[in-house]
A and B are shown apart, each in its own frame.
Chain A
Amino acid sequence: MFDIGLWGRFMDGVWITLQVTAYAALLGTALSIVSGLAGLSPYRAVRWPNRVYVDFFRGTSAIVQLFWIFYALPLIGPTLSPMVAGAVTLGLNMGSYGSEVVRGAVVAVPRGQTEAGIALNLAPLDRMRYVIFPQAAVAMLPPYGNLLIELLKGSALVSLITLADITFMVSLLRVNGAASTVTLFTIALILYFAIAQAITLGVRLLEGRLTRGLEIGRAAGRRAA
């Protein structure tokens, strides 16, 4: 019922799922920070385009975006490979949600921290880099972990644009009767769960690292966790 060949196919699927998730997470994280800070910009010319980005990607269906990039974009523009199309779509999506996480966490840092930064004569950019952001980052982490797990599970969408991820392997293996439907879907559930647990652990470790020596952060970290 469960031979080496089947196992190998699933491991190929896990590798693709991990790749898509990792690329999308990196793009999504970078976009979250850039877009979250852009949302706090005093300049309307920065805030408004950012608003459009966040609302568009949060407000439209991810699978429609994916199909649009994969099937429609080539008719009017460049043809992105399946991996790029998948990672970019999922990354843009994650960034639009992460943007609000970053913005909310920065706003939540007590006003006194900003005033202290001003008192120390730090420039606005330095204030953000050295005082505000490190404290905000601790509060960002728990919702960021949520986003990463959402991303992992959402990565199953790429099975519809020819990428051979875990979900794709299930539908492939169902056709030739290699194993029963119950077996195949159960394996897929376990694999996703295992990867999600690894992500949860990773975020916990990062939380511990960022909180060390940061009194306000420790409190914030404890509250959020």
Chain B
Amino acid sequence: MRNDQPEANFLLERRLGRRALFRGVGLTGLGLGGAVLLGCNGDDDNGDGGTASGNTLQQARDRGYITIGFANEAPYGFADESGNVTGEAPEVARAVLAELGIPEIQGVVVPFGSLIPGLQAGRFDIIAAGMFINPDRCAEILFSDPDYCIPQAFGVRAGNPTGVSNYEDVANSDARLGVLSGGVEEGYAQAAGIPDDRITRFAEAPELAEGLQAGRVDVIAATSLSIRAQLDRLNDSSLEMTAGFTPEVDGVPQRGCGGYGFRRDDQELRDEFNDALVSMKQNNEIVPITEEFGFGETEIGAATDVTADDLCEA
């Protein structure tokens, strides 16, 4: 029956329907593709808030908010269940920025190793992730003074079967170590002589802890509070943490003190932020903000007399 249909019928009727469909798809594709490309002007609410022009402070005051980058690492900077940014560093930053006349912060989550590249690319204006201040990082970005100092700790299986209590012990055993990619622990581990094939780098803190839980590594290294937060979350009796310790590189103890990071051309923002932070430190206003995240006088007090310059020149 169909074969009897004259060819003309196909050309006049069917073709129109199909043609319209093709044209519709093609035009919609081109139109929306174009709209996406142009959309970069209108889509300014998140992640695009950073600017790399050096007058970030003034712009943030005019807009009423500033964007901070954090790494989703409890208790330093993380998103709560409704997606709002919180944690030690964002909450202290919130208080400091309110002093500077910037009432609001917007958070951008990136993997820890992307914090410095993201800041430099203008994806956000301040790193508020409790990032340790060290000479390598000072070569890349500006830091405020630290607002806390903290020892390292290991997460291990219950009973610490590999018997490790510092990086040298790990080097002398055959234990596999997990660290956060781009974190200071990587450098400590290498300095202690742990071979690279026994170091596994994880992108985020939760993966680090789950790597231990799943048996992918035998030991995980991070700050004592970070290890505690992860183990509390997993609530697994087959895991435990070791006592805190201060790692050494070439016999020199490495103080682990965290502060806030800024782009190199944002000296003004960094200086005003730092002045407000220092006066909050002197007035003992940091502990009340951070104690809900497990920070006490021990961690906050240890940073009282430490400046960014001390740590950058170490």
Contact = CB atoms under 8 A, between A and B. Distances in A.
Interface of A: 5-6, 9, 12, 23, 26-27, 29-31, 33, 70-75, 78-84, 87-88, 91, 129-130, 133-134, 137, 160-164, 168, 171-178, 181, 209-210, 212-215
Given A9-B81, A162-B108, A214-B14, 8 more contacts: A71-B123, A74-B52, A130-B19, A162-B110, A162-B118, A175-B74, A212-B14, A214-B18
Nearest to A170: B206
Contact of B78 (A9, A70, A176): A176
Given A80-B40, A134-B15, A168-B109, A74 B123 contact: yes
B121 A210 contact: no
B163 interface: no
Given A81-B43, A177-B233, A75 B32 contact: no
Contacts of A5: 81-82
Contacts of A209: 21
Nearest 3 Cβ contacts at the A-B interface:
A30-B29, A27-B33, A74-B121
B123 A171 contact: no
A176 B205 CA distance: 11
A84 B40 contact: yes
Contacts of B81: 5-6, 9, 173, 176, 178
A210 B33 contact: no
B123 A162 contact: yes
Interface size grouping (class) on chain B: 35 or more
B36 A27 contact: yes
A172 B79 contact: yes
Interface of B: 2, 10, 14-15, 18-19, 21-22, 25-26, 28-30, 32-33, 36-37, 39-40, 43-44, 46-48, 50, 52, 72-74, 78-83, 108-111, 114, 117-118, 120-123, 204-206, 210, 233
B205 A133 contact: no
B120 A75 contact: yes
B215 to A, nearest CB: 14
B47 A26 contact: no
Contacts of A73: 121
Nearest to B42: A81
A81 B123 CA distance: 9
Contacts of A160: 110-111, 114
A27 B44 contact: no
Contacts of B30: 30
A176 B79 contact: yes
24 contacts: A5-B82, A9-B81, A23-B36, A70-B121, A70-B123, A71-B120, A71-B123, A73-B121, A80-B40, A81-B46, A81-B48, A83-B43, A84-B40, A88-B37, A91-B36, A134-B18, A162-B118, A171-B204, A172-B72, A175-B72, A178-B81, A209-B21, A210-B18, A213-B10
